[in-house]
Amino acid sequence: MTSAVDEHAVLANTWGTPRGPLGWLTSVDHKSVGLRFIGTALFFLALGGVLALTMRTQLARPETHLLTPQLYNQFFSMHGTTMMFLFAVPAMMGLGIYLVPLMIGTRNVIFPRLLAYAYWVYLIGGLFLYSGLVTGNGAPAGWFSYTPLSETQFDPTKGSDIWAQTITFTEISMMAVAVTLIVTILKQRAPGMSLNRIPLFVWSILVTSFMVVFAMTTIATASFFLAADRLINTRFFDDARGGDALLWQHLFWLFGHPEVYIIFLPATGIVSHLVTTFSRRPMFGYTPIVFATIATGIISFGVWVHHMFATGLPQLGLGFYTASSLIVTIPTAIQLFCWIATLWSGQPQWRVPLLFVLGFFFILVRGGLTGVMLASVPFDLQAHDTYFVVGHLHDVLIGGAVFPLMGALLYWYPKATGRMPSEVAGRWAFGLLFIGQNLTFLPMHLLGLHGMPRRVYTYLASTGWGGLNLLETVGAYILALGVLVTVANLIVSRFTGPRAGNDPWGADTLEWATTSPPPPGNFAEIPVVMSRDPNWDPARPEDRPVVTGLPLDRRELLFTSALDATPVRRIELPGPTIWSLPAALGTAVGLIMLIFTPWGLVVGTLLAVPPLVVWAWPKHGGSA
């Protein structure tokens, strides 16, 4: 029998990635790809944040002309596009890529090369969007790129083309990630991890991934229509030729509202873990939370028209969408009460990640309540396109997603790096973010009720909006400082943080059962799961059951049944490859060419398909 040390060496050899630049370009390890997604998303958060701060600086005083009206349009369009497409979704999915295999007890995702491809496509797409801004072709028509504003008649630049193709880049990427995560979650869970034992974050990623598949298909198709209208003069949104500008709004919001929950649901998964760990007790109401997560995912596809209350749709339809928009709050409320019950009946430890959960409760509930107000047609018609809506949506998105994400970064930081983040810096960051959030976005509600419209590049002093706007700008800088302190904490603690050990928080899920950072292949031995909180099982770790008979010298893992996670077969995964990168570059060349000529479709296919065939050509392993 080999010793444990030998086993680790063999595993590292089998599942490792080559060192140096080649390793960086060829890695198919879900941990490094996941961290890249998160790191890149934070980079885009910074860019989107700089755009926001510039806009806030412009609005701090009346009649300021730091930005021209045209540039201001591009800034708010790029800010929204960045935060939704390049930051929030990739950050959440990146967290899923990193954590899901660790939480379900497997060695990698099912399509690791596809995942690497998805990352490159995302990175290139994001940089491409910004190439537009620096060349005077920033997207000018809002993050939703409403037609006819985004049609060539009103936007003769390449801005809306670049916007549409950026959407295609990110959707290709996110759909590849979503399919990979769905199959991984359904088929690779450790033996014993039946459906009713799946960690809640994994549940949230599963539901989110299904939503991504359907929602992103919608926006990808719609943005293709838009790109075609602009490139080859199709008439989808041209009212004069039998098209309809409102068709765009339907398609966009059929994606756009689920998008909010695509960002929010993983955050609820994060909150469940933080609450469980720091309450020192299993989650109260696991099953209701799972059903609430699924219900939210389904209902979120039936509320999109509440974004279109002001477009003159039939009254009966509006009534239906008011009702559905109110109903979607019920599952969220169920989750909220379950978290509160868990904290109430547990022994809460007020460590920094849990503080972010409290911030989440406070701000999300406020955003939810203003959402209930906006779901009512008469109120919406008054507040539509005012700063009230801006305040509401930032409460929901920052309170509902960024706060949990910041908590998550600090909570799982020790797992990814082996070091603890600074508790003091974390508390400062939380304080700054919480104060900044409230100072920035609470006054927006008032300004909106006073009639300040959205998307104006400046305002007259006589409106009397100057004071609150100045307060908001101060708040925005405090908010930015909070993000900076968090990022600095993450960077500095990498070198100075105390060693974390495997399980510094005393948490319940499987990722804490392996070393920090986890080795290539994640686990020395694949665990067998006996309960919902496997790391809290009374048996000593070395006495817990494991999977035997899986060779360590090949990239083999276990395929299990979708419901009960009973072992079905063994699968051999492919190893590192360089071909994901040329495939992504080929895709990129095609998509970028498509802005100028329809031949981009042909060129892109010719460039992207050969690398795909080479990488998928069967050698040793089975799947992509």
Which residues here bind another protein, judged by CB under 8 A? 110-111, 175, 179, 182-183, 186-187, 191, 213-214, 217-218, 220-222, 225, 228-229, 232-236, 238, 241-244, 247, 250-251, 528, 530, 543-550, 556, 558-559, 562, 567-572, 609, 613, 617-618, 622-624
Q: Measured from the CB atom, is 83 or 303 closer to another protein? A: 303
What tokens appear for 87 in the block? 């930051």
Task: Answer yes or no: are the C-beta atoms of 608 and 590 closer than 8 Å.
Answer: yes
Least distance to another protein, CB of residue 296, Å: 20
Question: Which tokens hold the place of 585?
Answer: 């570059």
Give long-range contacts, CB 8 A cutoff, 24+ apart: 337-344. Answer: 337/285, 338/283, 338/284, 338/285, 338/288, 338/289, 339/271, 339/272, 339/275, 341/284, 341/285, 342/275, 342/276, 342/279, 342/281, 342/283, 342/284, 342/285, 343/275, 343/279
If one counts every other C-beta atom within 10 angstroms of the C-beta of residue 191, the result is: 21
Whether the upstream peptide bond of residue 148 has omega within 30° of 0, thus cis, is: yes
Q: How far is the CB of 176 from another protein (least distance, A)?
A: 9
Least separation in angstroms between residue 542's CB and another protein is: 8
Question: d(Cα 491, Cα 169) in Å, to the nearest integer?
Answer: 29
For the chain, the straight-line distance linking the first and the last C-alpha, in angstroms and rounded, comes to 33
- Give the angle 482-484-486 at the CA atoms, nearest 5°: 70
Q: Which two tokens stand for residue 588?
A: 């990129």
Question: Judged by CB, which is closer to another protein: 235, or 280?
Answer: 235
Nearer to another protein by Cβ, of 50 and 550: the residue is 550
Query: Between the CA of residue 530 and those of 196, 534, 545, 562, what are the distances in Å?
Result: 11, 6, 9, 17
Nearest alpha carbon to residue 270 among 427, 83, 404: 404
Please state the closest distance from residue 214 (CB atom) to another protein, in A.
Answer: 6
Class of residue 435 by CB neighbours under 10 A (exposed 0-12, middle 13-18, buried 19+)? middle
- Which lies closer to another protein via its Cβ, residue 181 or residue 393? 181
* Minimum CB–partner distance for residue 177 and another protein (Å): 11
C-beta closer to another protein: residue 231 or 326: 231
* Residues 129, 51, 36, 195, Cα dihedral to 10°: -100
CB of 528 to another protein, least distance (A): 5
As a whole number of angstroms, the distance between CA 411 and CA 485 comes to 16
CB of 173 to another protein, least distance (A): 13
Distance separating alpha carbons of residues 279 and 277, to the nearest angstrom: 6
Give me the least distance between CB of 529 and another protein, in Å please. 10
Nearest approach, Cβ of residue 611 and another protein (Å): 14
C-beta closer to another protein: residue 11 or 364: 11
Give residues with Cβ within 8 angstroms of 367, minimum separation 6. Answer: 392, 393, 394, 395, 396, 397, 399, 400
Question: Smaller CB distance to another protein: residue 236 or 411?
Answer: 236
Q: Please compute, for residue 586, the number of CA atoms within 13 A of its CA located in the half-sphere on the CB side.
A: 18
The pair of structure tokens assigned to 405 is 């994400």
Q: How many whole angstroms separate alpha carbon 61 and alpha carbon 325?
A: 36
CB-based burial of residue 2 (10 Å sphere; 0-12 exposed, 13-18 middle, 19+ buried)?
exposed
Q: Which is nearer to another protein, 295 or 557 (CB)?
A: 557
Q: Which residue has the tokens 């510039």?
A: 54
Least gap, CB of 500 to another protein (angstroms): 27
Tell me the closest approach of the beta carbon of residue 206 to another protein, in angstroms: 14
Q: Residue 435 CB, nearest distance to another protein (Å)?
A: 43
Please report how close the Cβ of residue 242 comes to another protein at its closest, in angstroms: 4
Do the beta carbons of residue 411 and residue 273 sit within 8 Å?
A: yes
- Own/partner pairs for 68-73, CB < 8 Å, 24+ apart? 68/457, 69/457, 70/140, 71/138, 72/457, 73/140, 73/141, 73/455, 73/457
> Which of residues 280 and 537 has its CB atom nearest to another protein in the complex?
537
Minimum distance from residue 383 beta carbon to another protein (Å): 28
Q: CB-wise, 362 or 559, nearer to another protein? A: 559
> At its nearest, how many Å lie between another protein and the CB of residue 81?
21
Q: Report the residue number, 374 or 526, with the smaller CB distance to another protein.
A: 526
Q: Of 62 and 545, which has the nearer Cβ to another protein?
A: 545
**Of residues 5 and 240, the one with the C-beta less far from another protein:** 240
Question: How far is residue 42 from each of residues 36, 46, 406, measured CA to CA in Å?
Answer: 10, 6, 11
Query: Is the distance from CB of 341 to CB of 284 less than 8 angstroms?
Result: yes
Q: How many residues does the chain have?
A: 624
Q: Looking at beta carbons only, is 111 or 459 nearer to another protein?
A: 111
Nearer residue to another protein within complex by CB, 110 or 452: 110
Distance between CA atoms of residues 427 and 351, nearest Å:
9
